[in-house]
Amino acid sequence: MSVSSARWIKSLLAVLLGNGLYFSLAPHLPAAARHRPFRLDLGVLVDLWFCLFVYGILEAATLLSRRFKPRP
């Protein structure tokens, strides 16, 4: 797998998991942090933060898996 396709898959996974996490937690968030359809509001930024958080976790997992991989 090429580096660009791996990065694309990681980004797609971060968006899907981040949105899933955001929308599953949305009923428990304050009203200002909930996204209303067809509006640019604070909820969009909160959703973006969830996606970036998941991407950071995926990057950290990738880094750790490379660091602790046994050497031949």
Looking at residue 23, its pLDDT comes to: 95
Confidence of residue 72 (pLDDT cuts 50, 70, 90): low
Q: What is the pTM of this model?
A: 0.85
Q: Is 70 left (phi over 0), alpha (psi -120 to 50) or beta?
A: beta
- Mind listing the pLDDT tens digit for each residue in 7-62? 999 999 999 999 999 999 999 999 999 999 898 999 999 999 999 999 999 999 99
10 Å CB burial of residue 48 (0-12, 13-18, 19+) is middle
